[in-house]
Amino acid sequence: MNNLIELRAIRKYFDGGKIKALDGATLMIKDGEFVSIMGPSGSGKSTLINMIGGLDKPDSGQIVVDGDDITKARDLTRYRSKEIGFVFQLHNLIPSQTALENVILPMHEGNLKSKQRHERALYLLRQVGLEDRINSYPTQLSGGERQRVSIARALANSPKIILADEPTGSLDSKSSDMIMDLLESIWKEEKKTLIVITHEEIIGKRAERTIRMIDGRVEQD
């Protein structure tokens, strides 16, 4: 397998340079890998995943994804839309939209027609076991159901990479297992590259490979 993601000596500072979020972090992730990133609060995990997802840019260093240096790109909107599927701890669903509408939303960035977007959203919600909740609003769903909608939304544009930042952090153990089983089955069946940030050892150990961070550096791989 070739490297899909390469982070080379990434540095990122906040608060005028007082806070060193990433301190020369270097990491290679192969196409199709399932990787967990672990470490204490403030170790740089979320900053690192935001860099891979194009939500933020490093102050120095290089990020190469599928052969393209994304640190040189002026606008990463299309990259985030087409290449990356985000799953956040608090799901980030739009409360005024139904489950179906939330999954359709990212597809407006693509070339699908309205009927095709609707059909794909239905298909994805069936995949995550929510075909009977398509017209429910986020406030009408349990935490686990909201996270499953979030996963369906992450898959909307068929991304190569799924980035999950503490996807089970706000869930009970039963819902956590269900979400991780779902992410793992998607990784296996659709051959995605899956990167999960977690502080829970039991979640981290499910990955093929565990990366540990401390003080903005990759300390153990």
Look at the alpha carbons of 88, 91, 97, 103 in this order and tell me if their dihedral is positive or negative.
Answer: positive
pTM value > 0.75: yes
Q: Exposure pattern of 7-44 as b/e (b: 16+ CB <10 Å)?
A: bbebebbeeeeeebbbeebebebeebbbbbbbbeeebb
Per-position pLDDT tens, the chain of length 221: 688 999 999 999 988 878 889 999 999 999 999 999 999 888 899 999 999 999 999 999 999 999 999 998 888 888 898 899 999 877 789 999 999 999 999 888 777 788 999 999 999 999 899 999 999 999 999 988 999 999 999 999 989 999 999 988 877 888 888 889 989 999 998 899 999 999 889 889 999 999 999 999 998 67
> Are 52 and 200 in contact, with CB atoms under 8 Å apart?
no
DSSP reduced 3-state for 13: strand
* Domains detected in the chain: 3-220 (3.40.50.300)
Runs of H (alpha helix) within 128-172: 143-154
- Among 190, 163, 33, 160, smallest CA distance to 89 is for 163
> Are 151 and 89 in contact, with CB atoms under 8 Å apart?
no
Dump pLDDT digits (tens) for 157-207. Answer: 989 999 999 988 877 888 888 889 989 999 998 899 999 999 889 889 999
Between helix 143-154 and helix 173-190 the angle, nearest 10°, is 20
pLDDT, position 15: 83
C-alpha 192/C-alpha 34 separation (Å) is 8
C-alpha 12/C-alpha 88 separation (Å) is 21
Tokens 């087409």, residue located: 82
Runs of H (alpha helix) within 111-198: 114-127, 143-154, 173-190
